[in-house]
Structure formats: C-alpha cells, structure tokens
Amino acid sequence: MSGSSTPASRPGTCPCGLPEPYDDCCGRFHAGDATASTAELLMRSRYAAFAVGDVDYLRRTWHPRTRPRRLTLEPDQVWTRLEVHSRSGGVLFNTHGIVEFSAHYTHGGRPGVLHEHSRFVREDGVWLYFDGTED
C-alpha cells in the first residue's frame, strides 16, 4: 500500500464510523462523485482514505500550502476505529473548522491512537485539510 494511489480494499461498512455502506458514504467522495459538505465529513472521508489506502484522495483534499510533496502510507499500519470528540465551525456558512478526533490503529501488530485537532478551510466552496496538532 505504500505510495499506492489506488484504494487497497472496498469495505462494506464505511471505515469512518458512520453506519452507511462505504460506497454510499466516503466512497463517493473518494471516487470524485461528491465533495464533503462539512469539515467533519471531510475529516471522516480522509480517515477512510487512510484506512483504504487512497493516497490520491488524501493529496487532493490537502490544502496546497501545507500538502507534503510526497505522501507514503505505512504498509503495516491498519486503521481500526475513529472517534470524533468535538467540532467547531466547519459547516455551510463557515470558512474554517476544527475537528478533534482519535484515530485508532495497529502498527506492526501494536495498538496505537492518534489524537488530533485538525484545521480545515473552505475555498471556492470546497473543504480542505489545512493542518493538525497532535496531543
């Protein structure tokens, strides 16, 4: 999966934690059939992109000012669960939003948690990930 631009798998239930099937939830964003209408939906769809290995979507939804030149996913990191703790702004009439979340994973067989406050900006009606601070 390292450096791959094609999703590794198409799970039945969306990895983002919402109860919809992947194709009806984040899969439509990954395929380019829709865009996330809120910062939280973008964050969830980016988590799902990490879970399925969709590097292209991650790069496409990363703000050009902060996007890394190269993005490589860890082949032995498996994203297992997402918890959204809070959100501020990030809806229809906002241009900025913050989402606090915990992303659970295993890496090399060991469990871990990434706790982050992610900042999002909306430009030309499209939400983009700007940056995040880990706790």
- Over residues 54-110, the pLDDT tens digits come to 999 999 999 999 999 999 999 899 999 999 999 999 998 999 999 999 999 999 999
* pLDDT at residue 1 in the model: 35
Domains in the chain (CATH in brackets) are 22-134 (3.10.450.50)
Radius of gyration of the chain (CA): 14
Given a cut of 70, is residue 9 above it in pLDDT? no
* pLDDT at residue 12 in the model: 74
DSSP annotation of 31: T
Residue 1: partners with Cβ closer than 8 Å, 6 or more residues away: 8, 53, 73, 75
Query: How confident is the model over 35-43, as a mean pLDDT?
Result: 98
What is the average pLDDT value for the chain, to the nearest integer? 92
Confidence of residue 135 (pLDDT cuts 50, 70, 90): confident
Q: What is the pTM assigned to this prediction?
A: 0.90
